[in-house]
Structure 1
Amino acid sequence: MTKEISLPVLILHHALPCLLFLLLGVSNAASELEDYQTYIIRMDHSHKPASFLTHESWHRSVLKTLSYPANDEEMMLYSYNHVIHGFSARLTALQLSEIEKSSAHLATYPESFGKLFTTHSPKFLGLKGKSGLLPAASYGEGIIIGIIDTGIWPESDSFNDRGMPPVPERWKGQCENGTAFSPSVCNKKLIGARSFSKGLQAAGINISKEYDYNSTRDFFGHGTHTSSTAAGNHVPGVSHFGYARGTARGVAPRAHVAMYKVLWATDTEKSAASDVLAGMDQAIADGVDVMSLSLGFGQTPFFKDVIAIGSLSAIRKGIVVVCAAGNDGGRQTIYNGAPWITTVGAGTLDRSFHSTITLDNGLTFKGISYFPQSVYIADAPLYYGKDDLNKATCNLGALNPDEVAGKVVICDNTTKIDVYGQMEEVDRVGAHAAIFLTDTSDLYSDDYSIPSLTLPTSSGILIREYVTGRKKPMLKTMRFVLTELGTKPAPQVASFSSRGPDPISPGILKPDILAPGVDVLAAVAPNIPYMEMGNYELVTDYALYSGTSMAAPHVAGVAALLKAVHQDWSPAAIRSAIMTAAYTIDNTGSILKDENTGLLATPLDFGAGHINPSKAMDPGLIYDINFQDYVEFLCGLGYNEKQMKIVLQQSQWNCSQEPTDLNYPSFIAIFTNETVKNFSRVVTYVGEKEASYRAFLDCPMGMKIRAEPSILTFTEKYQKQAFVLSVEIDGNAPGMIYGNLKWIDQHNHTVSSPIVAIKT
């Protein structure tokens, strides 16, 4: 497993964790009269005087009219034209109050900061080169994926342009010059590279070469990893220090990549919301088709969530927006839950990494290991501190170098390993290798400073019997760098993946979908050591990362493939196809399980299920949503006029007199005193032949489900049919219960939707 690393405002759930922005105001000394602070200012664009040709000229004029104005070039950071209407600027409290008195002012957001969350996976997704979605989509040819992240390492072979088509003529982006980054490194694969750091620097946080490059070049490696996961070109013979060896390629290997660097590795590990918003704004202007964000702000209403607002602007222009769900792991921890965003949780792959040990009595055990060398240890003495519980668990400072130097130490744990204690301890005392007996290891791939592996405590019984029954227990052999495919059960819901229900909008089931997010091999930046071993620092250009940050670009890549096949589909149609084609059965024939508990997971954990790209290409039916549907959804949230203006970025809208359901491909019913909930849906037929769909309902005890009508007949493509789903629970139903609706036709299409009922 790879460690969840915290970096700037990002939920970089790569067990490297996805950008979680903490709303912190940062003051910046700038005036003798008063301190300046950065604010994002939302303006009602309908108030722009006709005398101003552009919104930016209007915004600058507003700043020039303030009391004690500085030069507007110094005050203004960004003027936004696509994600929102407004600007970000450094203002005093007095200047801010003057702007807020204007009738054109809609909202103010103090600058916010946060931290980063964070070859086999395309095959695991069923993406094969000769059939299915991948060749049908020409491998994503002509589609542009915009990645909002930490930058990119352009020299990585994943971004070579062998076999790539020309840059689309509609592309308006560019590659910027900067520190250690020349526009000449861009090509037909990497067609855009821009960086945004004005907000960060306005807060007094400097970008120095010690911590990052003042350009689009990736210092940390996260953006390189997500980009190559979504759309990396074919690169044979790569591995993580020998593990997972094979050909690396992105989900859409012929799609173009545009990087928008908004996250920075600084001495204070911060990134600014104003920069993230500027990156999204530019991506829309440049003409991306898909936008992937492994980041997000805190859980806040949509009218305060700049990612939600900016994403709605992108959706309105036909851009598919994919975001990581977060790495908090518990209930109600979802980020990026707006219904116009495709929200992605993380699942495991059917691949594991091992070491084997054989004792001199012939017993052999296989354990988990990421030790980055093909080491072979033979005929080594074993050490087990059985006379002292503290020694047996290898607690920090417990071992005596004179007793254990040169031996293989057994660390007996009934709970989890203390990464920074026990591994450090066996390394400190000069142990030859270590065996950790535990069921809940939190060792990560960069923690293996000496040869070591973890074994389940069930294996510990036999090992303890052996070492306590021999005067000189010996390890016969210990082997490393073993990769195993077909691991069962898989996929599972990753332990760190955020779960629903969404606290902001519990009436929409989130996450939407599960995708590979554990031990994903992809390109990284080789500029900094991945780990240390003794006196050596190890670097690599491909590494295993984990997190919902890794899951999101998988879905972005699939969205690119679907968009290449179905160019007229809306973002909602693409999400619907992905969701209704998902599967919920693992490779043992069981409902998907929770990696942490081993128990059956629920749609609150995995949404519609695990992504199944090739079936999504021909879903049969789609649940489409247009912009007015989102307006109706927002009307139903009870927002006031000003809050609606903020989210919709328009002065006028129409709300129906009666509440309407959002035409979502999943169902969640929140029960208080009532026992019956009805949902209205409309499905659009996207098949080629006449078809008749029959409703099949999975109803657990305590729940009744009825679809009316139960048969939907279609005689032509794009024909629409409405139905009502009724969900009823009885008094004995548990607090959370779920079922399923499947529409099945005679052409072997299955259109599946989860149904969740929660009693409050």
Structure 2
Amino acid sequence: EDHHCSFLHSVKGTTSKEDVRTSLVQSYKNVINGFSALLTPQEADMISGMEGVISVFHSDPNTIKPHTTRSWDFVSLLEGTSLINSGEELPQNGNYGEDIIVGVIDTGVWPESSSFNDKGMGPVTKSWNGTCQEGVAFNAAHCNRKLIGAQYYLKGYEAHYGPLNETRDFDSPRDVNGHGTHVAATVGGRRVANASAIGGFAKGTATRGAPNVRLAIYKVCWPVPNKTLAQGTACLPDDILAAFDDAIANGVHVLSISLGSLPIKTYYTQNSIAIGSLNAVKRNIVVACSAGNSGPTPSTVENVAPWIITVGASSINRSFSSPIMLGNGIIVEGETVTPIMRRKLHPLVYAGDVEITGTTTSKTTGKCLPGTLSRYLVRGKVVLCINSRSNRQASMEVNRAGGVAAILGNPFNENEIQVTPFLNPTTVAYLDGLNTILMYIRSEKNPMATLLPGKT
């Protein structure tokens, strides 16, 4: 840290040593020989020209974002299942990850989740050198032989945004977002019976990849001020590097990171995950990252560094069927993970016909954008929305206007549906089905429809 302060002092001139230390945000010892600090553009340029300096870049809160079912049995890696076309039972031979320490860099953890119970697990391996960092609503008792460590990183976030609003998130490793808890449970959670999506949909047993691993949590993502959790989560690059730094020192064997950003020209010299993972791999730590959520368009894979194991999914071997029954008896295929109760037929309308005058244009009509639907024309009806930029937003708009259910058009292509959990009765139709419904509305004097309960 003193060495890093000397760099700062040389560019800040007459600034006192105390002020220099105040400007230092993070000082890294293991992941890189480097630091993050509050600098003017001129000071950053001066440091970048110094001998031995490889890279200087902005810790941009807008670059790295969180990513994210039945993954493990899809690739035949659940208990008792063999590797595809092989007699080898890989998980069993690895004793389901026993005494492997997996670090998860994400939004934190909800320690009370049944996925993190330590029943039947032995003492923590002596190689572990981490800590269970206490904070708001989180203390050492929340760690156990399964959840062996938890730390959080706020310095970079607060240097950019100011003090954390503690009505929005916990000043601790506790996860208010849910993404980090989901990721940690997917990697190494215990088997949990009677799990389901919202409202009991797809009830069954929650499974995981390696139930015997130990988990170490590193919380680096926080809510963006004045935005909802769905609208904005900030994962500051300098906080991410600090998490890498501690994970290396703590003795993790694997790092699981479901965060990322699209690679740009300076990816290898200025991306904190690429830089951090390179130095972790040099310490014999396996780094596995998600490929991102930006598909299916080309050139949207993230975390592309060759030293990272980048994991993506093109499809899954299940569907979440929730058909639409029209008044003429025709069944149109749709998909949802939202629980839907069987209902009677209701009047069916196209969103473009029930909008508030002047709220849409020829390019936005029919999309169920916020504030566009007329309560008078929508109340008690099923609404068909097409080409919405946000399916969840469209569903909420139909509910706001008093609609009983929403049918949404697939925003990608005719062969794929992004299955989204909705708070209100909603299903997503394929392109050909969407056209069938629209033609039915246009040709029928009193079009009717209902959504049938989903199943998987």
Q: Normalised by the size of structure 1, how large is the TM-score?
A: 0.50
Cα distance, 1:151 vs structure 2: 1.0
Matched position secondary structure for 2:22: helix
User: How far did residue 342 of structure 1 move?
Assistant: 1.6
Match of 1:172 in 2: 129
Residue deviations 1:672-711, cap 9 Å, x none? xxxxxxxxxxxxxxxxxxxxxxxxxxxxxxxxxxxxxxxx
| Cα distance between partner residues in 1 of 2:47 and 2:154 | 24
SS of corresponding position for 1:351 = coil
Give yes or no for the alignment of 1:215 onto 2:179.
no
Q: Is the 8 A contact 1:120 1:244 kept in 2?
A: no
Change (3 A) 1:152 1:381: closer
The answer to whether the Cα contact below 8 Å between 1:381 and 1:472 also exists between their aligned partners in 2 is no
Change (3 A) 1:434 1:139: same
Partner of 1:408: 382
* Partner Cα distance (1:77, 1:202) in 2: 7
Query: Over residues 520-550 of structure 1, what are the superposed CA-to-partner deviations in whole Å (9 max), with x where a residue is unaligned?
Result: xxxxxxxxxxxxxxxxxxxxxxxxxxxxxxx
Hey, what does 1:122 align to over in structure 2? Answer: 72
Corresponding residue number in structure 2 for 1:435: 407
Count of matched residue positions in the alignment of Structure 1 and Structure 2:
422
> What secondary structure is seen at the aligned counterpart in 1 of 2:321?
strand
Match of 1:479 in 2: 452
Query: 2:143 — aligned with what?
Result: 186
Q: In 1, distance between residues paired with 2:373 and 2:187?
A: 46
CA distance in 2, matches of 1:69, 1:469: 79
Residue 314 of structure 2 corresponds to residue 356 of structure 1 = no
What is the deviation of 1:121?
2.2
Q: What CA distance in whole angstroms lies between the structure 1 residues aligned with 2:9 and 2:111?
A: 41
Q: What does residue 23 of structure 2 align with?
A: 75
Residue equivalent to 1:280: 244
RMSD of the TM alignment (CA)? 3.5
**Contact 2:240 2:272 (8 Å CA) reproduced:** no
Gaps of 5+ in 2: 82-88, 227-232, 357-364
Q: CA deviation at 1:317?
A: 1.4
> Is the Cα–Cα contact under 8 Å of residues 141 and 165 in structure 1 kept in the other structure?
no
Alpha carbons of structure 1 residues 169 and 357: separation in structure 2 relative to 1, 3 Å: same
253, 261, 264: which one aligns with 1:289: 253
More deviation in 127-136 or 448-457?
A: 448-457
Q: 1:102 to 1:455 in 2, by over 3 A?
A: closer
How far is the alpha carbon of 1:337 from its aligned partner? 2.3
The structure that is strand-richer by fraction is 1
- Whether the 8 Å CA contact 2:65–2:260 is kept in 1: the answer is no
Structure 1 residues 69, 350: CA separation in 2 closer, same or farther (over 3 Å shift)?
same
- Residue of structure 1 in register with 2:420 after alignment: 445
1:295 CA drift (Å): 2.6
Preserved contact between residue 195 and residue 216 of structure 1 (Cα < 8 Å): yes
Match of 2:209, SS? coil
Partner in structure 2 of residue 135 of structure 1 = 92
Q: Check whether the contact 2:354–2:377 (CA below 8 A) recurs between aligned residues.
A: no
Q: Deviations over 1:324-382 (max 9, x none)?
A: 333443444443322212222332212222323444554333311233x341102x343
Judged with a 3 Å threshold, the aligned counterparts in structure 2 of structure 1 residues 460 and 169 are, in CA distance, closer, same or farther, namely closer
Match of 1:375 in 2: 341
Deviation at 1:314, TM superposition (A): 1.3
Q: 1:250 aligns with which of 182, 203, 208?
A: 208
The CA deviation at 1:173 is 0.5
In 2 relative to 1, CA 467–86 (structure 1 residues): closer, same or farther, beyond 3 Å?
A: closer
Counterpart contact for 1:417–1:443, Cα < 8 Å: no
Structure 2 CA distance, aligned partners of 1:437 and 1:301? 36
Partners of 1:345 and 1:328 in 2: how far apart? 11
2:306 is the alignment partner of 1:339: yes
- What is the CA-CA distance between 1:161 and the residue it aligns to? 1.0
* CA distance in 1 between partners of 2:71 and 2:155 (Å): 37
* Greater per-residue helix proportion: 2
Give the aligned residue type for 2:209: V
TM superposition shift of 1:96:
6.0
Q: Which residue of 2 aligns with 1:317?
A: 283
Question: Residues 354 and 378 of structure 2 are in contact (CA less than 8 Å); yes or no, is this contact kept in structure 1?
Answer: no
1 CA distance for matches of 2:41 and 2:388? 50
Out of 162, 181, 187, which is 1:230 matched to? 187
CA distance in 2, matches of 1:60, 1:466: 71
Identity %: 37
Structure 2 equivalent of residue 682 of structure 1: none
Determine if contact 1:158/1:232 at 8 Å carries over to the other structure: yes
**2:237 & 2:250 partners in 1: Cα distance?**
20
Relative to the length of structure 2, the TM-score reads 0.80
Aligned to 1:270, which of 234, 244, 264?
234
State the match for 1:456 in structure 2: 430
Distance in 2 separating the partners of 1:355 and 1:184: 43
Q: Which moved more, 1:228-237 or 1:322-331?
A: 322-331
Between the aligned partners of 1:437 and 1:399, the Cα distance in structure 2 is 17
The 1:439/1:59 distance shift into structure 2, 3 A limit, reads closer
Aligned-residue offset at 1:400: 5.3
Contact preservation (8 Å) 1:412, 1:438: no
In structure 1, distance between residues paired with 2:129 and 2:351 = 68
Question: For residues 382 and 53 of structure 2, what CA distance do their matches in structure 1 show?
Answer: 68
Once the two structures are TM-superposed, the CA of residue 412 in structure 1 deviates from its matched residue by 6.9
